[in-house]
A = this chain, B = another copy of it.
C-alpha cells in the first residue's frame, strides 16, 4: 500500500516541537479548506457547509459551545503531520490538549506502522504498548484493538436486536469493517450496503486491522465508495430495515441545518418501523448536544427515540453514546431486545466470539444517570405536542418511553 512507512518513536524527528500543545495551538490556525463529507469521520466536526453542492450551507459565525472547541482543532491540516501527535513515545489526541474539555488522553507508542493522507483526512496507525494497534484519523483515536469490541458490537447489535429478523442494512462510514463483522452475525440479514467515502481507510484496515476488515469478506456486503448524502439521495424510499451511522458527529454551529435534513434523508430511506443507530457523543461532556439530537430526531422519526451509552476507555470521558430511533410504523421497544443475540443460532461463532455485547448489557445501556435523565427529560416534555399528532400505537410507545426516562429522577 502506498504511503506505508515505518517510524520509530525512539528517534523522533528533529523537527518535532518540544510540546504537543504548541503543535495543537498551531493547528487551530490551519486552513479549514479540506472538508469531510460523509464516510469515516467519527467524532469529528464537519464544518459549516455540507457537501460540494453547497446545499444546506451556513455562513453563520455564531461561536461553538465551549465543550466543542475541540472540534476546531481536528480540522485537517494542509500537510500530513501525524507524527506531531507523538512526542517522546506517547501519542496524545491533538484536540484534547488545546480544547476546553481540559482533559487529555495519551497512549504509549511502541511503533508507528503507517502514516498517510487521503483526500479527506490524515491516517495514522501505531502499535501501542497495551491497547494493541490504534487507528487515528486527523489526530483523533477511532479505535484500538483492545476496546473496539465495545463500540462495534454495541452500535451494530443495539439496533439489529431491537427488530425482528432484519434483512436489509445500510452502514454509513464504518470503513474499518468492524460494524460489518458484527452485522454478519445476524443470519436473517440478506443485504448489507456500506457507504464509505475514504477508500484509503479501507485499504489501511485491510493491512493493519484484519480482525475488523474481515467484515468486508461477507458475500452479503456491497461496498459503495462515495458520499453518504448522495447515496441516501439516490436510495429508494423505504429500503432499509436498519441504518447504522458510524461516522458523523453533530457538533458545531451548523448542527440544526445539517442534521435535520440528514436525519430526514435517513428516515426516508428506512421502511416504516425501521431503525437508526447513530453514534452520539458522551453524556459527561455534551448533554446539550444530545438534547438537540433527541429533539430533532423526535420531530423527524416519529417513532421511539432513545439514548443509550457504554464504556469505551479510549474515547473522551471513557464512554460513547448511541441515538436509537425508529421510523413511524411498527412500534419498537429498544430497551428490551425482541431479537436477542443469544437466541440467534451461530451468532457467537461467526468469526471470533462476541467480546462485549449481550442482552443484559443491551438493557443496561439505557439506564441513564440522574443528571442526564433530568437534562434529557426536558426534550421529552417538549415533545408532548408532537406525540399528540401521532398514531395511537406510537403515542403509547412514546409515553412509555417518557415515563421510563423520568421515573426515579
Q: Which A residues fall within an 8 A CB radius of B?
A: 18-19, 21, 67, 88, 90, 92, 97, 100-108, 128-131, 146-147, 149-150, 284, 309, 311-314, 317-319, 340-342, 353-361, 363-371, 373, 407-409
**What is the oligomeric copy number?**
2
Q: Are B370 and A354 in contact (CB under 8 A)?
A: yes
In the bound complex, residues from chain B placing their C-beta under 8 Å from that of A101 are 130
* Cα–Cα distance between A363 and B108 once the two chains are bound (Å): 35
Nearest CB of B to A307, in Å: 13
Q: Are B369 and A408 in contact (CB under 8 A)?
A: no
Nearest CB of B to A302, in Å: 26
In the bound complex, residues from chain B placing their C-beta under 8 Å from that of A90 are 21, 97, 104
In the bound complex, residues from chain B placing their C-beta under 8 Å from that of A67 are 130
* Cα–Cα distance between A21 and B147 once the two chains are bound (Å): 25
The listed residue with most B CB atoms (<10 A of its CB), out of A67, A104, A340, A341, is A104
Nearest CB of B to A361, in Å: 5
* Cα–Cα distance between A90 and B357 once the two chains are bound (Å): 36
* Cα–Cα distance between A130 and B102 once the two chains are bound (Å): 5
In the bound complex, residues from chain B placing their C-beta under 8 Å from that of A367 are 358, 360-361, 363-364
In the bound complex, residues from chain B placing their C-beta under 8 Å from that of A408 are 340-342, 358-360
Q: Are B355 and A369 in contact (CB under 8 A)?
A: yes
Nearest CB of B to A129, in Å: 4
The listed residue with most B CB atoms (<10 A of its CB), out of A19, A102, A313, is A102
Contact of A103 among B19, B106, B366 (CB under 8 A): B106
Task: Give me 10 A-to-B residue pairs in the complex whose CB atoms sit less than 8 angstroms apart, sorted by A's number.
Answer: A21-B88, A100-B129, A102-B128, A103-B106, A103-B314, A311-B311, A357-B370, A360-B366, A360-B407, A361-B368
Contact of A131 among B103, B150, B318, B409 (CB under 8 A): B103
Nearest-CB residue, chain B, relative to A362: B367
Nearest CB of B to A149, in Å: 7
Q: Are A371 and B356 in contact (CB under 8 A)?
A: yes
Q: Are A130 and B370 in contact (CB under 8 A)?
A: no
* Cα–Cα distance between A368 and B101 once the two chains are bound (Å): 29
In the bound complex, residues from chain B placing their C-beta under 8 Å from that of A365 are 364
Q: With A100-B129, A102-B107, A102-B130 in contact, is A358–B342 under 8 Å at CB?
A: no
